[in-house]
Amino acid sequence: MGKKNVVWWPAVKNVDHNDKFGNFEYFQYSRNTWEYWCEKNDVLFVPFEVPVEDDLFRFRINWQKAIFVFDELDKRNIEYDQIALVDSSFMIRWDTPNFFEMTDRKFTAWRDTDNMRWIYESIQGYKDFFDGFVLDQSKYVNSGFIVFNESHREFFQSFKKMYYDNIDTLLELQDKIVKRGNEQTPLNYWLQVKDIDVNIDLPIAFKLTHLQRKDMFSHNWQLDEDKTPFFIKYGYNFSFNGLPKDQRNNIMKQTWDIIKGNYK
Amino acid sequence: MKDILKDIPDKRQDKNTTSLKFKKDLISYLGDNYKDKICLEIGTSKGYSTRILSHLFKKVITCENNIDNINFAKDINKDRDNIEFLNKDVYNTSWDFEDIDVVFIDCNHEISYVLSDIRNAINLCKKNEDILLIFDDYGLDNPWEGVKEAIATYDNDDRFEIVREIGEPKGSDCNPRALLRDVEGVICKFTSNVEYKNIVFLMDIDLQGDGRYSSHRRDAYKYSIASWQKWCDKNNTELFVLNDLVVEYQKMAICWQRYYLFDILDANDIKYDQILMVDADTIVHPDCPNFFDMSDGKYVGVHNEGSYDWIFRSIENYSKYIFDSKMIDWWKYINGGFQIVNENHRNFFQKIISFYFTNQDNLVKLQETFHTGTDQTPLNFLLQLENIDLKLLPYEFNMCDLPRKDILGEDLLFTKVGWIYQFNSIPNQKEHNITNYFMEKTYKHFHGELS
C-alpha cells in the first residue's frame, strides 16, 4: 500500500477543563466532518486522543500535538505522505477540495490577521526568549491548521527539543508574563528562525477563523432567499475559535445540525 | 548562416516552430552584434529557435513549462554549451533575471498572456537603456485577440516601437491552419525613459453635499495628501491629486469616475509607468516599501478583510441583479481603495466606464436599495470575468477596517504592524470625526505639524 496523506487530529479531553469546554462534546462534530472528508479523499484520519505526556499542565495539548506528531506516527507504524495537523475546533465542509494537492509540497499554513493586537503583543512577549529575533508579522500563521511532510521532521523534532530544554521558562511566559497563546507564537518564531519555506498563498476559505469577528454567522437578509450562514456557504474549513469557549459546543452542534445531511 | 540552420525545420514541416525565413531575418538583423549579450527566451517549445539564438548570443536562458519539450530541446541542443534550460511557469512566477538584453517571446499567444510577457520583459530593462523584444506569430490568424493586439496597446507609448518585420509576409501559407493576416514576426525596441514615472493618484473633490458627499469627509484629506507627497518624494514617484469631477456626480458617483484615470492623465500630458489609485482616507507610513516594485507588471490589489456579511451580501446582490447570477472567488475580492495599474489596463478601464453607462439605471437602483457599495463589487466581478491577471499584496498594504483588527487606538498600534492605513468602517462617528481625528494624529505621529 502506498503512502497516504494523513489528517492528524488532536482531541485530548483534559478533565480539568471539562467545565470550561462543556465536556468537549464538540470534538464529535469536528470528527464527523473530518472522517467523512478523509474517506472521500483517500486520506488517513489519525486521531490523537491519548496524550504522550500525562502532565497536561506542563505539556499542554497544543504543544503535544506539534512536538509529538512524528513520534506518534512512527509509533503507530503509519506511513504517510503529507500530514495535515488540524485542531478539533475545526469542521470541514463536505465538498472541500483536496488541499494536499495544492501545497507544492511546502510547509503550508494560513496567515493569522484576526486580532492583530493580540498577535503583536504575543510576538513582542516572546521576542527576548528568541534572542531578539525580529519576527515578520506579515508571515505570522495560525497553528490550528498546518500541512507538512517528512522533510519537516527535523523542524518538529528540534521544536520538541527546544520545548523540553526551556519548559519552565515557556510555561512562565505563557501563563504569567505574555499570556498570549501557547505554542502558536513560538512555532512562528521557530519557522522564521529556521527559515522554513512556508506557503501562505492558499485561499482563506481553507482556514476560516474568528467567524464572529468576520461577520460570517449571518446570511443575506436583504435577498432573504437562502438562510444558510455565510461561513457554511462560502467557507471550506471553519474554526470555532475567537468565541467564548463555553459556547463552542452549542454553536458546533447547531452547525452540524444544518450540514449533517451532506455527510451521508 | 547555412551552418546555423542545418537540420532546422521550416514552419511548413513543424507548425510549432518559426519559418526558415523568420530565422534568416533574425540572424540577419542581429548579426554579430549580440555575441557578448544574453537572450531570454520565453517558450522553448522544441528548441529550434533556441539553437539559432545560441549561435547569436553569449548565453541563452530559455523557459518552458512542459518538461517533455525541455527534454526534446536539450537533446537537439546537446552540442550547445551556452543554453540554460528552466522548467518554469512564466505566468505564475517572478522573472528574476539580470542583465538581459533581448527577450524572445513565443509562448501563450492570447492577449492577456502576451501583455504579461511584455510587461515582465520591459521590467528587465535598465534605466535609460533599451531592450529588444522579438515576437513570433504576430500575424497569426487567431479567432481571439493575440500578439498583434497586445503590441498595439503600446501604439501611444513613445518608448516602444516596432523596428523590423521578420519572417513570412502577410498572406503566407506557412501556417497550415490559416493564411497569415500580417507579417509572421516583429522585432520591437523598448527604451527606458526616466520621464515615465510611477504615479500616485488621489481624488480630493469637494461636492458640498450632505451625508457621503459632505465637505466634512474631506477635512483630513490634506493629511493623506501630505503623507503621500512625502512618500512620493522619497520613492521617485509623482503625486497627482484630482480636484475636479469628470462627470457630474449625480450622473456618476465619484468612485466610478476614477476609471477615467487614463483619460485624465492623457489630458494633463502626464507620462506614466505604473499608477496607484488610492483613496484619500489613507495615510502611508514614510518607510512603506515601494509597492510598484512588487507588481510584476500586473493589476494589483489587496484583499478586503472587513465585514464579510457586507461583502457576501454585496457579491450576491450584484450577482443577482447585474451579473446574471455569475459568482466570483470571494477570497480574491479587493478593496477599491488601493489599485495599481499600468498601460495594459487602459482597455479594461474603458470597459468599466462602458459597463457603467450600459447598466447605469440598474446600478444606481441597486446602490440605493441595498447600500452594498458603488464601484467596488462591480470592479471585482469585472476583474474576474475579464480574467485580468491580478496580484494580491498582503493586508499591510491597505489596512482597511482597523477597528475589526483591534489595532485602532490611542497607541496607534497599526503604525507598527503595517504600511498603509485606510480609516474606513469606523463605527459611531459624527461627521467623520473619528476618521479625521486619527488621520491627523497619524500624520503628526510620523511628520509633525502640517507645513
In terms of pLDDT, which residue wins out, B343 or A36?
A36
- Domains, chain A, ordered by start: 4-203 (3.90.550.10)
Rounded to whole angstroms, the Cα distance separating A85 from A148 reads: 8
Parallel, antiparallel or unpaired: strands B390-393 and B299-302: parallel
d(CA B168, CA B156): 27
**Cell triple for A237:** 474549513
What DSSP letter does each residue of B24-35 carry, written as one string?
HHHHHHHTTTTT
DSSP code string of B44-108: -TTSHHHHHHHHHSSEEEEEES-HHHHHHHHHHTTT-SSEEEEE--TTTS-----S--EEEE-S-
Going by CATH, does the domain composed of B20-191 fall within 3.40.50.150? yes
For residues A247 and A20, is the Cβ–Cβ distance under 8 A? no
In contact, B292 and B198? CB cutoff 8 Å? yes
Between CA B73 and CA B85 the distance in angstroms is 9
Backbone CA torsion sign across B416, B417, B418, B423: negative
For residue A222, give the nearest of B313, B330, B414 by CB distance: B313
CB B163 within 8 A of CB B130: no
What mean pLDDT value characterizes chain A?
96
How would you write A112-171 as a 3-class SS string? CCCCHHHHHHHHHHHHCCCCCCCCCHHHCECCCEEEEEHHHHHHHHHHHHHHHHCHHHHH
Interface of B to A at Cβ within 8 Å reads 303, 305, 307-310, 312-313, 316-317, 320, 329-332, 370, 372, 394-396, 404-407, 413-414, 416-418
SS3 content of chain B, % helix, strand, coil (to 5): 35, 20, 45
Q: In whole angstroms, give the CA distance from residue B254 to residue B61.
A: 47
State the pLDDT at residue B428.
Answer: 85
Mutate to test the interface with A, among B93, B312, B366, B412 (most CBs of A within 10 A): B312
**Helix or strand (DSSP H, E) at A86:** strand A80-86
Are B413 and A233 in contact (CB < 8 Å)? no
Compare CB distances from B394 to A115, A138, A203 and report the shortest one's residue. A138
Average pLDDT, chain B: 93
What is the Cα–Cα distance from B7 to A133, expressed in whole angstroms?
59
List CB contacts (< 8 A) between A222 and chain B: 313, 317, 370, 372
B164-210 pLDDT, tens per residue? Answer: 999 999 998 888 778 999 999 999 999 987 778 999 999 999 887 77
Q: Which residues in A160-178 are b (16+ Cβ under 10 Å) and which e?
A: bebbeeeeeebbebbeeeb
pLDDT of residue B212: 66
Instruction: Give dist(CA B334, CA B344) in Å, integer.
Output: 19
Distance of alpha carbon B256 from alpha carbon B253, whole angstroms = 6
Residues of chain A with Cβ-Cβ distance to B406 below 8 Å are 115-118
Contact call for A205 and B330, based on CB within 8 A:
yes
Taking CB atoms and an 8 Å cutoff, what residues of chain A touch B394?
Answer: 111, 138
How is residue B397 written as a grid cell? 498594504
State the cell numbers at A40: 472521500
Residue-level pLDDT at B2: 61
CA–CA separation, A132 vs A127, rounded Å?
5
HEC string for B6-24: CCCCCCCCCCCCCCHHHHH
Q: What are the cell numbers at B56?
A: 547569436
Q: Verify whether the Cβ–Cβ distance B405 to A113 is below 8 Å.
A: yes
Cα–Cα dist B272/B274, whole Å? 6
What is the pLDDT confidence band of residue B245, given thresholds at 50, 70 and 90?
A: very high
ipTM of the complex: 0.95
Give the residue carrying C-alpha cell 457599495. Answer: B373
pLDDT surpasses 90 at B216: no
| pLDDT per position as a tens digit, A207-218 | 999 999 999 999
- Chain B residues within 8 A of A223 when measuring between CB atoms: 313, 316-317, 320
3-state secondary structure of A6: strand
Instruction: Return the pLDDT at B177.
Output: 78
So what's the pLDDT on residue A125?
Answer: 97
Q: What is the pTM of this model?
A: 0.85
- Residue pLDDT, tens place only, B371-404: 999 999 999 999 999 999 999 999 999 999 999 9
CB-based contacts of B368, cutoff 8 Å, min separation 6: none
A227 touches chain B (CB under 8 A): no
The full set of domain ranges for chain B reads: 20-191, 197-447
Residue B15 scores a pLDDT above 80: no
pLDDT in tens, chain A (264 residues): 579 999 999 999 988 888 887 788 999 999 999 999 999 999 999 999 999 999 999 999 999 999 999 999 999 999 999 999 999 999 999 999 999 999 999 999 999 999 999 999 999 999 999 999 999 999 999 999 999 999 999 999 999 999 999 999 999 999 999 999 999 999 999 999 999 999 999 999 999 999 999 999 999 999 999 999 999 999 999 999 998 888 999 999 999 999 999 998
CB contact at 8 A, A88 and A27: yes
Picking from A125, A107, A116, A147, the residue whose alpha carbon sits closest to that of residue B394 is: A116
3-state secondary structure B116-148: HHHHHHHHCCCCCCEEEEEECCCCCCCCCCCHH
pLDDT of residue A221: 96
Q: For residue B168, give the C-alpha cell.
A: 513570412
Q: What angle do CA B395, B400, B405 make, to 5 degrees?
A: 80
Closest partner residue to A117 (CB to CB) among B303, B316, B407 is B407
Least confident range of A92-96, A188-192, B101-105, B125-129: B125-129
Q: Which A residues 20-79 touch B at CB under 8 Å?
A: none
| Beta-bridge partner residues of B40 | B61, B103
Closest CA to B209 of B425, B430, B371, B431: B431
List A residues 169-208 in contact with B (Cβ-Cβ < 8 A): 203-205
Measured between alpha carbons, how far is B331 from B312 in angstroms, rounded to an integer? 11
Express each pLDDT in B304-315 by its tens digit: 999 999 999 999
Q: Which of A113, A120, A218 sits opposite B305 (nearest CB)?
A: A113
Alpha-carbon dihedral angle through residues B433, B437, B443, B446, given to the nearest 10 degrees: -160
List C-alpha distances in Å: B38 to B57, B84, B100, B103: 6, 11, 5, 9
- pLDDT for B1: 62
- pLDDT confidence of B134, banded at 50, 70, 90? very high
Judging by beta carbons within 10 Å of its beta carbon (0-12, 13-18, 19+), is residue A28 exposed, middle or buried?
middle
Q: Where does B197-447 sit in CATH, by number?
A: 3.90.550.10
